Amino acid sequence: MEALSSEPALVRRLGTFDAVIIGLGSMIGAGIFAALSPAAAAAGSGLLIGLAAAAVVAYCNATSSARLAARYPASGGTYVYGRERLGPFWGYLAGWGFVVGKTASCAAMALTVGSYAWPSHAHAVAVAAVVALTAVNYAGVQKAAWLTRIIVGLVLGVLAAVVAAALTSAESDLARLDIGTGTTAPGVLQAAGLLFFAFAGYARIATLAEEVRDPARTIPRAIVTALAAVLLLYLAVAVSALLVAGPDALAVSSAPLRTAVELAGADWAKPLVTAGAVVASLGALLALLAGVARTALAMGRNRDLPSRLAAVDPGRSVPVVAQIAVAAVVMLLVATIDLRGMLGFSSFGVLLYYAVANASAFTQDAEHRRWPKAWQVLGLAGCLVLVATLPWPAVLAGLAVFAIGVLGRLLARRTRP
């Protein structure tokens, strides 16, 4: 392997289509196969309102991320934006939230692969998946984008089959869409916070800002396009699942989409759903491993994390040390992960990450603004409200990890020469 350097910039190779596909691959993952269950438990059929609320917050966040990424086209996403607009501490807080939250997401998605592919050896399969996809990312971002494109196409086909099976079933019943059943305002907000997990992948596009061509034009288009496409898909899937299963059956299921096709009488679709869950989780895991590594790279450059993480392999133009470090942490988490608990924990970290993004975008002047400031205010308020309504174990765990991160940074600053 060629000698590593901590300074070379990454190469701009990706166009709008590849950026959209990577965003889709990050969002269409374990979230849609798993998040409907806890959302239904929290809000009943009101999960549709929660889905809409999550989409509104995600759109506000997307507009903030898009303009900031166009202004600051460097790896690191909101970690960079917070540093530039609000100061180093807020940038660090955003970066820590992203690394912690998305590392938890990686572990949850890896375990989803193992649970579906080979339940009796779920942990071993999860570790193997992390190793294999880290190797793919090491091959270079173009090759990862090519593989993600194939995965997204396959998963879209599976989800289309789920929707078709539900809508054509004799068991489909419009009465199950009654949003008054089992719905409360706190429950809807909690469902929104949990479902936000399934939208959060569009940040992956912003973390690639140093690797896309014409970022000022490409990134805003890619983020908004990917988010709109995923929202339409999620609405179709959620409505279809509710029509045949209802909120009560979804709430107690560990595999809500498989439950939906079973209750629809579409036994032919069950293997497709299992395969779709595995492929979707692999696709999201592939994209997230790369995204977390690039944020770790940016934090390493500024010594908010160990500087060795900033090493780039000049031959392949990838942050190889950061990728290996992230993979190692994910493999450790896989040994003790709980998928449902990690949905809330991941949302906690990522929502705080986007709170910093909205606050950063609010400080931009008119020359660099494309959307009104009201969107940033709504996005910031939405992030904080959804964080506060997440399940309390996730909130307590998130606060503890953030406190550790802040304390670690303060200690490192005191001991640094």
In the chain, helix, strand, coil percent, each to 5?
A: 80, 0, 20
Confidence (pLDDT) at 222? 85
Confidence (pLDDT) at 105? 87
For residues 288 and 300, give the distance between their C-alpha atoms in angstroms, rounded to a whole number: 18
- Residues 355/380, Cβ–Cβ less than 8 Å: yes
Q: Which domain holds residue 331?
A: 16-411
Confidence (pLDDT) at 138? 83
Q: How many domains does the chain have?
A: 1
| Rg for the chain, CA atoms, rounded | 20
pLDDT, one tens digit per residue, over 28-54 is 766 788 889 899 999 988 999 999 999
Structural domain contains residue 80: yes
Structural domain contains residue 9: no
For residues 209 and 284, give the distance between their C-alpha atoms in angstroms, rounded to a whole number: 18
Structural domain contains residue 395: yes
Structural domain contains residue 336: yes
pLDDT, one tens digit per residue, over 156-174 is 899 999 999 999 999 998 8
Confidence (pLDDT) at 203? 63
Structural domain contains residue 10: no
Structural domain contains residue 329: yes
Structural domain contains residue 66: yes
Query: Which residues of the chain are modeled with pLDDT < 50?
Result: 1-7
H runs (alpha helix) in 118-214: 122-138, 141-167, 185-195, 203-207
265 three-state secondary structure: coil
User: Which CATH number goes with the domain that contains 274?
Assistant: 1.20.1740.10
- Residues 351/196, Cβ–Cβ less than 8 Å: yes
Structural domain contains residue 158: yes
